[in-house]
Amino acid sequence: MIPQLIKDLLRIKKLDASLAIFMVIMLTSVFGSVLYKVKPLAIAGPAEQPPSAEFPLGTDSWGRDLLALLLTGTKNSLRIGVTAALISLTIGVVIGVIAGFKGGVIDSALMLVTDVILVLPSILIMMLVAAYMRERNPFYVSLIIGFTGWPWVARAIRSQIMSLKSREFMDLSKMAGLGDVRIIVEDLLPNMASYIAMAFVLLMSGAMIAEAGLSMIGLGVTKGVSLGIILYWAQMLESVRRGMWWWFGPPGVVLVLLAASLLLMSTALDEYFSPRLKGG
- Residues near another protein (CB under 8 A) are 1, 167-169, 171-179, 186-187, 190-191, 279
The nearest distance, CB 125 to another protein, in angstroms, is 33
Closest CA to 29 of 63, 80, 72, 60: 72
In the bound state with another protein, the residue whose beta carbon lies nearer, of 135 and 168, is 168
C-alpha to C-alpha distance for 172 and 181, rounded to whole angstroms = 15
In the bound state with another protein, the residue whose beta carbon lies nearer, of 190 and 243, is 190
The nearest distance, CB 104 to another protein, in angstroms, is 12
The nearest distance, CB 95 to another protein, in angstroms, is 24
C-alpha to C-alpha distance for 229 and 137, rounded to whole angstroms = 13
In the bound state with another protein, the residue whose beta carbon lies nearer, of 121 and 177, is 177
In the bound state with another protein, the residue whose beta carbon lies nearer, of 54 and 171, is 171
- What backbone torsions phi and psi does residue 274 show, to the nearest 5 degrees? -60, -50
The nearest distance, CB 54 to another protein, in angstroms, is 56
Distance set, CA 188 to CA 58, 151, 168 (Å)? 52, 20, 12
Judge whether 231 and 215 are in contact, CB under 8 Å: yes
In the bound state with another protein, the residue whose beta carbon lies nearer, of 179 and 243, is 179
Strand, helix or coil at 59?
A: strand
- What backbone torsions phi and psi does residue 244 show, to the nearest 5 degrees? -90, 70
C-alpha to C-alpha distance for 193 and 160, rounded to whole angstroms = 11
In the bound state with another protein, the residue whose beta carbon lies nearer, of 61 and 173, is 173
**What angle is formed at CA 185 by the lines to CA 179 and CA 190, rounded to 5 degrees?**
140
The nearest distance, CB 169 to another protein, in angstroms, is 4
The nearest distance, CB 160 to another protein, in angstroms, is 14
Judge whether 137 and 194 are in contact, CB under 8 Å: no
